[in-house]
Structure 1
Amino acid sequence: MELRHLKYFLAVAEELNFTKASEKLFISQPPLSRQIAELEEELQAKLFIRNNKKVELTEAGKYFEKEIKTLFQNLELISAKTKKIAENVSGEFRIAYISSIYSAVISDLIKHLKKQFPYVNFKLFEISTAKQITALEQGKIEMGIIRSPVKSPKIKSDLWFKDGFSLVYNKKSVQIKSENDILQLKNETFVFFNKDYAPHYHEVLLELCAFYGFTPKIIHEANNINSIVQLVKNGLGISIVPSNIAKNNHDPEIGFVELKKVNLKTDVSIITSREDDSEITQSAVAFLLPQRP
């Protein structure tokens, strides 16, 4: 059974007249009759009742017509989806981000992209900066959101925003009124990012403590900003986190003090492949850049 058999059948079923159907299909009547006969033989079912006065569908023919119309509708949808996927470069777009980026912004990005590219499957991954750079170089993700710097000739980096730092503490365990009281915390237990997981960020936190005149007593380490904040909430230490986290956390048990005296910030950047000029990537970057937290 070939596609032409089905098209010929639908034409005859619609016209209920072999002459009109053949004219519609731009073929002569004998070949059309032959194709219908071949179809009936293959199905082992009579589809039409033919006599000198009229052509009618049999019960089997009526059922076959209904199913074939549904089949062709599905084929049209498949064709449209295939075309859309081809236009959108691929059927999958992978975005990685660091844990310290406020998730609502990422959620808004996905909603925005889904409206523009409804046939693309968008996937999100929470990955460290170092691993994002490697994944992008290897083509395992299409876009990343990291804390700079980036030292790769294969990657294009767009500054999204500059992020400051804030001390985070459990209000029941620690009493601190302002930035001026930070030195009194030198004997407190600190919770930091793991040095191997985020080496640059780890060094920045040590620089911050040095600026305020002490070396932190790091007892607990974690690979996720939310885990760090949770450890602080549980009274297991204090920490220094990006100010972006402080702006978006309203837990009454946790306090934040922004570190304004030190002129130290981190660049949060959007990274993409230098060879990627796809419409989806351009749309994603264009959406994020005006929305600086």
Structure 2
Amino acid sequence: MMELRHLRYFCAVAEEQNLTRAAEKLFIAQPPLTRQIKQLEESIGAQLFLRHPRGLTLTPAGYFFWDQAKQILAKTEAAIENTRHLAEHGKATFKIGFVPSVFYGQLPSLVRQLRKKTNADIILIDLKTGEQIEALNTGEIDVGFGRLSIPNETVEQTILFQEPLLAALPVSHPLALCQPTMADLAKVPMILYPENKSATPTFADICLSLFVSRGLTVNVTQRVNDLQTALGLVASEMGFTLVSEQVKRLSRDDVVFTPLQDKSITSPVIFSRRRGPLDPITAMTIDILDTLVKNRVD
């Protein structure tokens, strides 16, 4: 019978690709670990590793099982953490992943209403959209708000609305007095956010694609991790950046948020949740969102 320890053993071997190092990491002897891995393969009915003189490599089935095993272990840890929190504080947790560019619109109103209508601790976690999909699969968050559609068989994504993009420019810049075209902006140094070190697309990729799709070359001079840093660089007259319309609520006196000439340039706000039956708080979240989106003021 497969147990959680078998999954932990398997993941350690998959990570190390060496039984000796994996055994040291797990603080067990190598022979019992070897037997456990063999028993796991027999139980599943598939070869998970290819044995080599100096180590192991995963088979295609092994790679698939590794991904599934990591998700199971992460979900288990999340379940334990949430159960412990409920026992200690008398209330559940509801974790919301979000990208910073959606924080200035409907999200604060949603959080306020959830806090009033539930007994849960509402926790906000800053995550890129791709990170949200992974966190939903592992149970680290309950719902997410992002800007990218990333197909995943266990996650359902819904576009709440399309939001116009604005150019954030220094107050002294000539383009701040008009509605610039993308060709106008391509002549100005650009600041991109968030910085992306993974293969998963981000808001920065959306912004770049707007120029590429129009045959324009843009001069990216700075890549930063977050919106606030990008706006700080704009205020320092280092260049411009693109932002969602709701960001104009920041009301900075050193940055102008100007509409683009092409009003069709928008970015979606996307709600993500795990597929399957709705828990009560997620169901309430969807009801609140429906009202907030219908009453949205641009």
Tell me whether the two structures share a fold, i.e. TM-score over 0.5. Answer: yes
| Alpha carbons of structure 1 residues 141 and 188: separation in structure 2 relative to 1, 3 Å | same
Aligned length: 206
CA distance in 1, matches of 2:134, 2:93: 19
CA distance in 2, matches of 1:180, 1:236: 18
Aligned partner of residue 100 in structure 1, secondary structure: helix
CA displacement at 1:175 relative to structure 2:
4.3
Residue 207 of structure 1: which of 192, 206, 209 is its match?
A: 209
Asked if 1 retains the 8 angstrom alpha-carbon contact of 2:182 and 2:211, the reply is no
| Alpha carbons of structure 1 residues 206 and 243: separation in structure 2 relative to 1, 3 Å | same
Give 1:18's aligned residue. none
CA RMSD of aligned residues (A): 2.7
| Alpha carbons of structure 1 residues 111 and 243: separation in structure 2 relative to 1, 3 Å | closer
CA distance in 1, matches of 2:142, 2:282: 7
Aligned partner of residue 235 in structure 1, secondary structure: coil
Pair 1:137-2:130 in alignment? no
Give 1:286's aligned residue. 287
CA displacement at 1:134 relative to structure 2:
0.5
Asked if 1 retains the 8 angstrom alpha-carbon contact of 2:180 and 2:261, the reply is no
Aligned partner of residue 199 in structure 1, secondary structure: coil
Which runs of structure 2 are paired with 1:265-280 in the superposition (5 Å)?
A: 265-280=266-281
CA displacement at 1:220 relative to structure 2:
0.8
CA distance in 2, matches of 1:165, 1:183: 15
**Deviations, residues 92-115 of structure 1 (Å, cap 9, x unaligned):** 111111100134633322221222
| Alpha carbons of structure 1 residues 254 and 136: separation in structure 2 relative to 1, 3 Å | same
| Alpha carbons of structure 1 residues 249 and 212: separation in structure 2 relative to 1, 3 Å | farther
Give 1:217's aligned residue. 219
Amino acid at match of 1:99: P
CA displacement at 1:232 relative to structure 2:
0.9
CA distance in 1, matches of 2:213, 2:154: 35
Give 1:20's aligned residue. none
Amino acid at match of 2:143: M
Which runs of structure 2 are paired with 1:60-79 in the superposition (5 Å)?
A: none
Which runs of structure 2 are paired with 1:53-202 in the superposition (5 Å)?
A: 91-103=92-104, 105-118=106-119, 120-180=120-180, 183-193=183-193, 194-196=195-197, 199-202=201-204
CA displacement at 1:180 relative to structure 2:
4.6
CA displacement at 1:162 relative to structure 2:
0.8
CA displacement at 1:245 relative to structure 2:
1.6
Higher Rg of the two aligned structures: 1
CA distance in 2, matches of 1:260, 1:134: 37
Identity across aligned pairs (percent)?
Answer: 18
Compare 204-213 and 135-144 and name the one that shifted more. 204-213
Relative to the length of structure 2, the TM-score reads 0.61
CA displacement at 1:270 relative to structure 2:
1.2
CA displacement at 1:237 relative to structure 2:
1.6
| Alpha carbons of structure 1 residues 148 and 109: separation in structure 2 relative to 1, 3 Å | same
**Deviations, residues 76-133 of structure 1 (Å, cap 9, x unaligned):** xxxxxx9xx69xxx71111111100134633322221222222x22211111111011
Aligned partner of residue 271 in structure 1, secondary structure: strand
Pair 1:242-2:244 in alignment? yes
Gapped regions of structure 2 (runs ≥ 5): 1-82
